[in-house]
Chains A and B, each alone.
Chain A
Amino acid sequence: MSERASVPKEEDETEPEAEQEPVTTGAQSVIRALENAGTDYVFGVQGGAIMPVYDALYDSDINHVTMAHEQGASHAADAYGVVTGDPGVCFATSGPGATNLVTGIADANMDSDPVIALTGQVPTEFVGNDAFQETDTVGITQPITKESYFAADSDTVGDDVSEAFALADAGRQGPTLVDLPKDVTQGDTEVEPGAPETPETYEVPEEADDENVQEAAEALAEADRPVILSGGGVIKADASNALREFAKEYEIPVITTMPGIGSFPEDHELSLEWAGMHGTGYANMAISNTDCMLAIGTRFDDRLTGGVDSFAPDAEVIHIDIDPAEISKNVYADYPLIGDAREVLRQLFDAMPRSPDADEWRDQCQTWKDEYPMDYDTPDDEPLKPQYVVEQFSEMTPDDTIVCTGVGQHQMWASQFWEYTEPRTWVSSHGLGTMGYGVPAAIGAKLAAPDQEVVCFDGDGSFLMTVQGLSVAVREQLDITYVVLNNEAVGMVRQWQDGFYEGRRMASEYPWIPQFDKLAEAFGARGFTLESYDNVEETIQEAREYDGLSVIDAHIDPGENVFPMVPSGGDNGLFALNEDHLDMI
């Protein structure tokens, strides 16, 4: 059971489990494996080679959501996995169906999101002949999955799916894929799939070595300027509560990574929010000047570290991670603690000899919070500031509201100006940076958490990449609010062109874009337009209250840029607060 803000759906345990029909085909065995693993939803698109699997789904209680495009299927499954903590499932046919899934699979791989992709394949006898809609799906996806399986036999295909499901969920989560040739799914079998079990070669560490924990605890207790860096792995391991207890007990300031947003409440006095390229000034000052960093479930991505030569250069690093290959990959770990984040935090909690003597340091962190507030101007005579829209929305919604985003400037504002307090309420594309993630992700998130409010901030560029997904959200009668922070440009690229390419705005500005409120209406959703400060609260409230899909087209200041900013490969402590600073560093 994952740490979710909402109360889990009640299951009716009184009803006796219906007698399951024995399987007769490979396809039925595939569906049975998904049923056994507890699958509620599948996101997919039909097609020739996957038809036997869909035919078997006809008799199953699993809900299927027909997506408008396979990319949306993989993103929706990804978001479903992020919000529930259990693998999201997506289906696609062979060839273009499978290749369309690829972006979402790569996205899940970068963010360690649990996803299982089942793809149709041409019949085994045609494999290698360049048959109609044939592509080497296993070959294409092997580098971007934990493992890609080619199902070879109707008798074992159910086991392949069971194993892929278990593997997606085990240890460091991630995507897996099973490629299903049509003759294998159509073929006869009476073999029921086995229970989901990880392959024997796959080892999942749990507790860290006690001696290492003891040494790490002493180093942390000795520190003068300690920080905790909480990554996405904390949320994945359902370790947010363990983290909160640890940080509060030993009074250590907490910085999150972007995927770690929500692992620690941003309204707590120990929170410095998140660090990195567009992180807060105070988080980046603390990262830069700490002498001991407890990093948990993070892979030290370059958007977090900037140049590693200047990353926390005075700090001894204690690194908790379930994946040994992340230890000392980008930043050397003085104290590697390999294991499950929740288990190891508990071990470390018990091993701490005392709190670090860090009154001065905490005061320093507070000074930085006062010196570098996340402020912006809202003069009445200027166009609407995106930050204001995000902030207002945040203030009007409950703490367990789920925020999804696309990728770009809007994503940064949504992460900077929304106040996150709960895990699994921030659903975004971090490592891969996939524009277009937002629309389908919100669909997956809403189905994963029907009782929670879901809002998706998107940019005009990002929104247009997957806008066809609105047809799905309307058909499924999903109550989601999309907010397009519309600056009529691929804003982040435009910002970089202005900062680093002498203002040469090549292919970043849209000479003409659709009216998104009207577009929404065409899809059957409610459309709203926002152009000034006058009616921001009122419009948000109306969109929220509408029982169904609504889209707010917010026309924002096209000149607004995202700050603070650490230029790529730069020094976190030298973040720019405005355009002028970029010239100084």
Chain B
Amino acid sequence: MPGPAPDERMRPKGRRNTQGIRVDPEAEVTHEPRQAVLSALVKHRPGVLSEVSALFSRRQFNIESLTVGPTVDDDTARMTILIEEPEPGIDQAKKQLRKLVPVVSVRELEGEAVRRELALVKVSGEKPDDVNAVADMYDGQAVDASTDSVTVEITGSKQKIDAAIEAFKQFDVQEIVRTGAAALERGPKTLEKDV
């Protein structure tokens, strides 16, 4: 085909980064990942959980936890999703989520939102008093005990639970289960109404 060769052509001056955002050709711009809490109201019906979780895996969003449970309305459930992504990824996750038909609304909860997680930690039953003492330090309590094991319940922020589990390691941790975060905005604001 006729025409000037690639090195003989008029060339643009600019450049975009990998997210398609125009950048100063001299300066490298990267968006650092941050953690975001997305709260979504969804129609309470079969398949909705798989639809949402499939979306996150298919679009390669980095998801830390996903919890789901009923709300005051029998027809809707609430999902709380912790993701860690650069800013454009968080924005895209919100838009893709909103696009799913069973999703009623989506919002990112602000930094100071109330976030709670529950963990059950099963440790060796050799030193039950010491276990209780540590549980007290974290406002936890023993919920089951046998001659060989004690199971402790802890509720709180992710950081608090991380710290508690670290402390329980001295008792030979046998099993851990964590729920992932549940979160609500502080004040009167809800997902359905902006105040």
Residues of A within 8 A of B (CB): 138-139, 142-143, 146-147, 150, 167, 199, 201-202, 281, 285, 288-289, 300, 305, 308-315, 323-325, 327-332, 364, 371-376, 563-564, 573-578, 581, 584-585
Pick the contact of B1: A143, A167, A564 (CB < 8 A). A564
Most buried by B among A323, A325, A372: A325
Task: Point out the residues of chain B lying under 8 angstroms from A577, CB to CB.
Answer: 1-3, 5
Task: Point out the residues of chain A lying under 8 angstroms from B10, CB to CB.
Answer: 285, 289, 364, 573
Q: Residue on B with the closest CB to A200?
A: B104
CA distance A453 to B4 in the complex (A): 39
Given contacts A310-B15, A313-B15, A314-B14, is CB(A330)–CB(B20) below 8 Å? Answer: yes
CA distance A233 to B91 in the complex (A): 23
Q: Can you list 14 contacts pairing A with B, beta carbon distance less than 8 Å?
A: A138-B47, A150-B47, A199-B101, A201-B103, A300-B20, A309-B18, A314-B12, A325-B92, A376-B1, A573-B6, A576-B6, A577-B5, A581-B6, A585-B6
Most buried by B among A142, A313, A327: A313
> Is there a chain A Cβ closer than 8 Å to B50's Cβ?
yes
Contact between B101 and A202 (Cβ–Cβ < 8 Å)?
yes
Least Cβ–Cβ distance between A428 and chain B, in angstroms: 22
Contact between A332 and B16 (Cβ–Cβ < 8 Å)?
yes
CA distance A224 to B10 in the complex (A): 15
Task: Point out the residues of chain B lying under 8 angstroms from A308, CB to CB.
Answer: 16, 18-20
Contact between B9 and A332 (Cβ–Cβ < 8 Å)?
no
Given contacts A300-B20, A310-B15, is CB(A371)–CB(B99) below 8 Å? Answer: no
Least Cβ–Cβ distance between A560 and chain B, in angstroms: 12
Task: Point out the residues of chain A lying under 8 angstroms from B101, CB to CB.
Answer: 146-147, 167, 199, 201-202
Contact between A313 and B21 (Cβ–Cβ < 8 Å)?
no
CA distance A311 to B11 in the complex (A): 12
Least Cβ–Cβ distance between B190 and chain A, in angstroms: 17
CA distance A93 to B136 in the complex (A): 61
Interfacial residues of chain B within 89-115, with CB under 8 A of chain A in the complex: 91-92, 95-96, 98-99, 101-104
Task: Point out the residues of chain B lying under 8 angstroms from A364, CB to CB.
Answer: 10
Task: Point out the residues of chain B lying under 8 angstroms from A576, CB to CB.
Answer: 6
> Is there a chain A Cβ closer than 8 Å to B186's Cβ?
no
CA distance A338 to B22 in the complex (A): 21
Interfacial residues of chain B within 47-74, with CB under 8 A of chain A in the complex: 47, 50-51, 54-55, 58
Least Cβ–Cβ distance between B62 and chain A, in angstroms: 17
Task: Point out the residues of chain A lying under 8 angstroms from B51, CB to CB.
Answer: 142
Contact between A201 and B21 (Cβ–Cβ < 8 Å)?
no
CA distance A32 to B22 in the complex (A): 52
CA distance A137 to B17 in the complex (A): 39
CA distance A63 to B20 in the complex (A): 47
Least Cβ–Cβ distance between A444 and chain B, in angstroms: 26
Q: Residue on B with the closest CB to A330?
A: B20
CA distance A493 to B101 in the complex (A): 38
Least Cβ–Cβ distance between A389 and chain B, in angstroms: 18
Task: Point out the residues of chain B lying under 8 angstroms from A201, CB to CB.
Answer: 43, 101-104
> Is there a chain A Cβ closer than 8 Å to B7's Cβ?
yes
CA distance A453 to B20 in the complex (A): 41
Interfacial residues of chain B within 135-157, with CB under 8 A of chain A in the complex: none
Task: Point out the residues of chain A lying under 8 angstroms from B18, CB to CB.
Answer: 308-309
Task: Point out the residues of chain B lying under 8 angstroms from A330, CB to CB.
Answer: 20
Contact between B2 and A375 (Cβ–Cβ < 8 Å)?
yes
CA distance A310 to B13 in the complex (A): 10
Contact between A372 and B16 (Cβ–Cβ < 8 Å)?
no
Beyond the given pairs A167-B101, A323-B99, A328-B20, 5 more chain A to chain B contacts, judged by CB atoms under 8 angstroms and listed by A's residue number, are A143-B55, A201-B102, A310-B16, A313-B16, A330-B20
CA distance A331 to B98 in the complex (A): 20
Q: Residue on A with the closest CB to B92?
A: A329
Least Cβ–Cβ distance between A156 and chain B, in angstroms: 12
Contact between A332 and B3 (Cβ–Cβ < 8 Å)?
no
Contact between B50 and A139 (Cβ–Cβ < 8 Å)?
yes
Contact between A372 and B2 (Cβ–Cβ < 8 Å)?
yes
Contact between A331 and B4 (Cβ–Cβ < 8 Å)?
no
Task: Point out the residues of chain A lying under 8 angstroms from B58, CB to CB.
Answer: 143
Least Cβ–Cβ distance between B105 and chain A, in angstroms: 9
Least Cβ–Cβ distance between A374 and chain B, in angstroms: 7
Least Cβ–Cβ distance between A163 and chain B, in angstroms: 9
Q: Residue on A with the closest CB to B19?
A: A332
Task: Point out the residues of chain B lying under 8 angstroms from A150, CB to CB.
Answer: 46-47
Contact between B1 and A313 (Cβ–Cβ < 8 Å)?
no
Task: Point out the residues of chain B lying under 8 angstroms from A331, CB to CB.
Answer: 16, 20
Q: Residue on B with the closest CB to A163?
A: B101
Pick the contact of A371: B3, B13, B55, B104 (CB < 8 A). B3
Most buried by A among B11, B43, B46: B11
> Is there a chain A Cβ closer than 8 Å to B33's Cβ?
no
CA distance A308 to B21 in the complex (A): 9
Least Cβ–Cβ distance between B146 and chain A, in angstroms: 37
Least Cβ–Cβ distance between B8 and chain A, in angstroms: 10
Q: Residue on A with the closest CB to B55?
A: A143
CA distance A289 to B14 in the complex (A): 9
Task: Point out the residues of chain B lying under 8 angstroms from A199, CB to CB.
Answer: 101
Contact between B15 and A328 (Cβ–Cβ < 8 Å)?
no
Contact between B16 and A314 (Cβ–Cβ < 8 Å)?
no
Given contacts A143-B58, A150-B47, is CB(A328)–CB(B2) below 8 Å? Answer: no
CA distance A371 to B5 in the complex (A): 11
Least Cβ–Cβ distance between B17 and chain A, in angstroms: 7
CA distance A312 to B91 in the complex (A): 23
Q: Residue on A with the closest CB to B41?
A: A201
Least Cβ–Cβ distance between A257 and chain B, in angstroms: 16
Given contacts A289-B12, A325-B96, A578-B1, is CB(A311)–CB(B20) below 8 Å? Answer: yes
Least Cβ–Cβ distance between B173 and chain A, in angstroms: 36
Contact between A372 and B92 (Cβ–Cβ < 8 Å)?
no
Task: Point out the residues of chain B lying under 8 angstroms from A281, CB to CB.
Answer: 1, 3
CA distance A285 to B101 in the complex (A): 40
Least Cβ–Cβ distance between A61 and chain B, in angstroms: 31
CA distance A331 to B92 in the complex (A): 12
Task: Point out the residues of chain A lying under 8 angstroms from B102, CB to CB.
Answer: 201
Contact between B21 and A574 (Cβ–Cβ < 8 Å)?
no
Contact between A374 and B1 (Cβ–Cβ < 8 Å)?
yes
CA distance A413 to B61 in the complex (A): 38
Q: Residue on A with the closest CB to B10?
A: A289
Task: Point out the residues of chain B lying under 8 angstroms from A371, CB to CB.
Answer: 2-4
Least Cβ–Cβ distance between B96 and chain A, in angstroms: 5
Least Cβ–Cβ distance between B98 and chain A, in angstroms: 7
CA distance A147 to B43 in the complex (A): 13
Contact between A372 and B3 (Cβ–Cβ < 8 Å)?
yes
Task: Point out the residues of chain A lying under 8 angstroms from B15, CB to CB.
Answer: 309-310, 313
